[in-house]
Structure 1
Amino acid sequence: MSAWVALLLLWGFTLGPATDGAVFVSTQPSLWAEPESLLEPWANLTLTCEAYRETQDFQLLKNGVVQEQVRVGFPVIKYHFPLGTVTSNNRGLYGCQTGLSFAGVWTELSNLLEVTGTEPLPQPGITTQPVSWITPGLDTKLLCKVGLRGVIFLLRREGDAGFLEVSEVAKDGYATFPVHQPGNYSCSYQTHPAGKPSEPSATVTIKEYATPPPPELSYGKILRPITHWNLVCVGPLSNAEFQLRQGEKDLKVPRSSTYPELVFFHLKLEDMGDHGPVTCRYRLRSRKAAWSADSEPLELIWSDETLPAPVLTVEPEGSNPEPGSRVQLRCTAPKAGLSFALKRENWGQHSLLQILKPTGTEAVFQLPGFSVADSGNYSCFYSDLAPPFAGSAPSTSLELSVDGDAPRPKLQALWTGTVPAGRDAVLRCEAPIPKVTFHLLRDGKKVPSTVQNMLSSSTDLALPFVGPQHTGNYSCRYSGSNSFQSELSEPVELLVVDEASSGR
């Protein structure tokens, strides 16, 4: 049996950070394989790197190591790297970069392309557009992609006999399949109609919803005095219409947006009928689609500062709690039947920490495991639960601080044993608190894999396309908006092995 060239595009989307006012433009080039003949693709192969804009500089990497770097005489959009016949010497995982070599500036890495010389052809990549579910009014698609141009794609749904759909020859290396039924889907490809199908892709599960799943509603900027709120509603779809609700009432409030999948609601006290919680929902603009399910309710508290300030005390007494200790903050008002809120200010940022509605005149806020991350100026206020919803001035603030570093995070390798050269090495850093910035370090020096995660207390830090030069001991730490940073995690050793070079 003749040896097939195995080419696999490890397909993924590039997402930019969601920063206010920023427009993310991907500079990722594209890499694909062009065989002289699809009947014998292994006989003479060329790898083509296409830049996101014209350039004179191209770089080809294999298994995380630069193999060839060229500078052409005038700017072009693509460059062809002849690979020739696939042998043990040129098998591996390829990527490319473009840029300005004389300035030492290169783009992000292209998609990855695997050349192995084995049969059957390995699996293609598969992903969903725009989401992994179907609902009335939404056109969901499956995108199947491989690094070999001119192939035929085949779509299968689990439980069906044969292939569900066959695409025409894909000149650009991908096919888009519309999805109308839920199920588990995978795709394969052929180099020619009589050829043996490749290994199937990973399985993608498509769910069906009568109404779209709920968005997330959270606090935006907290202003003082709290007579209005900025709330942010985030949904899974672009081109959506959003609605802020209190019960069944649609709150017609001013709004703004910097991204098509979210909206900021600017809510004032006079927009509210009472102090009840609010929710948000969305629907597609393109059709008469159904509204999504409501978000989790978000409770609000208002303060016009017309009532006497409460008294805030701390237990145990003192402004420097022991690291790791439980701190209680007691907010005392002149009457019962109120809603109490605890705020923290550090470096000019106000955070609403808790809202309580005790039956008496006191609210006790618990802060377990107090650390340097909790340092700041604390205050509380209260508000009536009935009209006219008057609120108090804030209490006198209490400054609480802990010296030293925050508790160390935990670093976990998401691989076992050694990592083959050219693959991604992913490490998961878990902090004991949310809303921090994570940093990855190698042998004590920071590497460019910093991720800010504003919701979760953990994140995955990826080292893409590693080579033997990435071998070393890695650790992580986190930092916060009030300039604290944590201790380093326990180290994790990364060993990268170039299996192609070792003959395996």
Structure 2
Amino acid sequence: MSMLVAFLLFWGLPMGPVTEAATFYETQPSLWAESESLLKPSANVMLTCQARLGTPDFQLFKNGVAQEPVHLDSPAIKHQFLLTGDTRGRYRCRSGLFTRWTQLSKLLELTGPTAPPPPVLMHRGESAQVLRPGNKVTLACVAPLSGVHFQLWRGEKELLVPGSSTSPDRIFFHLNAVALGDGGHYTCRYRLHDNENAWSGDSAPVELILSDETLPAPEFTAEPSSRNPEPGTRVRLRCLAPLEGARFALVREDGGGHRVLRFQSPAGTEALFELHNISVADSANYSCVYVDLKPPFGGSAPSEHLELRVDGPPPRPQLRAAWSGAVLAGRDAVLRCEGPIPDVTFELLREGETKAVDTVRTPEAAANLELTFVGPQHAGSYRCRYRSWGPNTFESELSDPVELLVAES
């Protein structure tokens, strides 16, 4: 077993604070470890800092301390830093941007020998997650190492599908024409090119559901039947199919398209989906579909939609710290804001301030909000909230505060 370096790498997709339809040019560089260096028995590690634009200037930071800047003879899109001696630590890099520097890269932490961490698998392209046969699907697998060999799996079977890459730490698997039977759970993993035994763990699964709409539409009812239920109550959505053992999907229809909220595979002919503690953010049109898990894997037409309209303010979120005690200077402070509502924008605010210090747009009902490269100036109390820009515009109240303490060493 080769010596590997473990990485704690946090992914996030920050958005602009006002209009999410605006276009922003990304300048943040990427930082990763070259996998070849991890196969060597020495402690040397090669880090690659890749800029968004060609530049002659690069700089590496270790444990919050800036290393000597590197000025190349001609502009380059990336630069490699060779680490020797004790390579354990927390690293970032930045690149030149005209007469200034870019923001710092995401945190990369080298923690010593261990197995490679799992990658992240993401579904790209289709806005509606109930797919039709013949659709094109792209699955992106992202690893915290570069120069690795990726695999894509559906269930317990490896898939040999074409892939492309725009960066050495990721691959895009292209399912050019999905067919009935291609639905199910997809995962990816990777290994170092020269070590067939050093496989990472599997990514979290992505589920695809396909329907050719040849089966009869299911019956879809709500309990209570009122289209204007009271805030804070529970709504049961019942989907009834004419066959047993089907795979059911609850679909929410809003301004962002059709999005699958939940899946169920009951033994009988119906699935019961429950919406708890409903609020204004649950206001939407809902429908359901089902697919046969046996050949020829047909799928139903969507049910008639049910409209829910709920009045009142959205529930307050909860803010949780991803650390205990004080945060070491030079690290990221990650706070998780959790709400009951998916597909919103989360904001982190310092106590007494009105401008968000971090903003994340996510299809999930929670988001990791980060204070990057913390120092004593970041100490204080923080709260979070979430908002929706449409089709139902709303903003939650602030969460209870979380105190951030910063330690020098």
Fold match by TM threshold 0.5: yes
Matched residues in 2 for 1:450 and 1:357: separation? 36
CA shift at 1:461, angstroms? 4.5
Aligned residues: 338
1:357 is matched with: 265
Query: How big is each residue's C-alpha offset from its partner over 1:389-436, in whole Å with a ceiling of 9 and x where there is no partner?
Result: 1111101111223223321123568999999xx999968352224554
1:124 is matched with: none
Residue in structure 1 matching 2:27, options 13, 25, 28: 25
RMSD: 5.0
Contact 1:443-1:472 within 8 A present in 2 as well: no
Query: How big is each residue's C-alpha offset from its partner over 1:280-324, in whole Å with a ceiling of 9 and x where there is no partner?
Result: 222345x46554343344443210011111111111221223323
1:457 is matched with: 366
2:217 is matched with: 309
1:184-223 alignment to 2 at 5 Å?
205-209=111-115, 212-220=116-124, 221-223=126-128
Matched residues in 1 for 2:268 and 2:209: separation? 18
Contact 2:182-2:210 within 8 A present in 1 as well: no
Contact 2:33-2:144 within 8 A present in 1 as well: no
Judged with a 3 Å threshold, the aligned counterparts in structure 2 of structure 1 residues 380 and 477 are, in CA distance, closer, same or farther, namely same
Judged with a 3 Å threshold, the aligned counterparts in structure 2 of structure 1 residues 352 and 339 are, in CA distance, closer, same or farther, namely same
1:489 is matched with: 399
2:304 is matched with: 396
2:84 is matched with: 177
1:32-71 alignment to 2 at 5 Å?
none
1:99-248 alignment to 2 at 5 Å?
129=33, 141=45, 146=65, 176-177=83-84, 205-209=111-115, 212-220=116-124, 221-223=126-128, 225-227=131-133, 228=135, 229-247=137-155
Query: Does residue 378 of the first structure (1) align with residue 380 of the second (2)?
Result: no
Unaligned runs of 5+ in 1: 1-12, 28-126, 150-173, 188-202, 497-504
Contact 1:216-1:296 within 8 A present in 2 as well: yes
Contact 2:14-2:358 within 8 A present in 1 as well: no
Query: Does residue 278 of the first structure (1) align with residue 183 of the second (2)?
Result: no
Contact 2:315-2:397 within 8 A present in 1 as well: yes
Judged with a 3 Å threshold, the aligned counterparts in structure 2 of structure 1 residues 448 and 139 are, in CA distance, closer, same or farther, namely same
Contact 2:333-2:374 within 8 A present in 1 as well: no
TM-score (norm 2): 0.63
Judged with a 3 Å threshold, the aligned counterparts in structure 2 of structure 1 residues 264 and 222 are, in CA distance, closer, same or farther, namely farther
Judged with a 3 Å threshold, the aligned counterparts in structure 2 of structure 1 residues 346 and 288 are, in CA distance, closer, same or farther, namely same
Letter aligned with residue 337 of structure 2: E
Unaligned runs of 5+ in 2: 1-8, 16-22, 48-61, 69-80, 91-108
Query: Aligned with 1:277: secondary structure?
Result: strand
CA shift at 1:476, angstroms? 2.7
Query: Aligned with 2:290: secondary structure?
Result: strand
Query: How big is each residue's C-alpha offset from its partner over 1:206-252, in whole Å with a ceiling of 9 and x where there is no partner?
Result: 1323xx44323344434355334443333222333433223554434
1:325 is matched with: 233
Matched residues in 1 for 2:152 and 2:229: separation? 41
Matched residues in 1 for 2:119 and 2:320: separation? 30
Query: Aligned with 1:301: secondary structure?
Result: strand
CA shift at 1:371, angstroms? 2.5
Matched residues in 2 for 1:348 and 1:472: separation? 36
Query: Does residue 409 of the first structure (1) align with residue 309 of the second (2)?
Result: no
Matched residues in 1 for 2:155 and 2:402: separation? 50
2:251 is matched with: 343
Query: Does residue 430 of the first structure (1) align with residue 337 of the second (2)?
Result: yes
Matched residues in 1 for 2:324 and 2:162: separation? 51
Letter aligned with residue 345 of structure 1: E
Contact 2:119-2:143 within 8 A present in 1 as well: yes
Query: Does residue 334 of the first structure (1) align with residue 242 of the second (2)?
Result: yes
Letter aligned with residue 217 of structure 1: L
Query: Aligned with 1:359: secondary structure?
Result: coil
Contact 1:411-1:476 within 8 A present in 2 as well: yes
Query: Aligned with 1:445: secondary structure?
Result: coil
Query: Aligned with 1:373: secondary structure?
Result: helix
Matched residues in 1 for 2:402 and 2:228: separation? 34
Residue in structure 2 matching 1:387, options 295, 298, 306: 295
Judged with a 3 Å threshold, the aligned counterparts in structure 2 of structure 1 residues 323 and 258 are, in CA distance, closer, same or farther, namely farther
Matched residues in 1 for 2:217 and 2:405: separation? 60
Matched residues in 2 for 1:416 and 1:297: separation? 29
Letter aligned with residue 390 of structure 1: G
1:108 is matched with: none
Contact 1:343-1:350 within 8 A present in 2 as well: yes
Judged with a 3 Å threshold, the aligned counterparts in structure 2 of structure 1 residues 375 and 234 are, in CA distance, closer, same or farther, namely farther
1:500 is matched with: none
Letter aligned with residue 325 of structure 1: T
Judged with a 3 Å threshold, the aligned counterparts in structure 2 of structure 1 residues 481 and 492 are, in CA distance, closer, same or farther, namely same
CA shift at 1:332, angstroms? 0.9
Letter aligned with residue 216 of structure 1: V
Letter aligned with residue 394 of structure 2: F
1:446 is matched with: 355
Judged with a 3 Å threshold, the aligned counterparts in structure 2 of structure 1 residues 407 and 135 are, in CA distance, closer, same or farther, namely farther
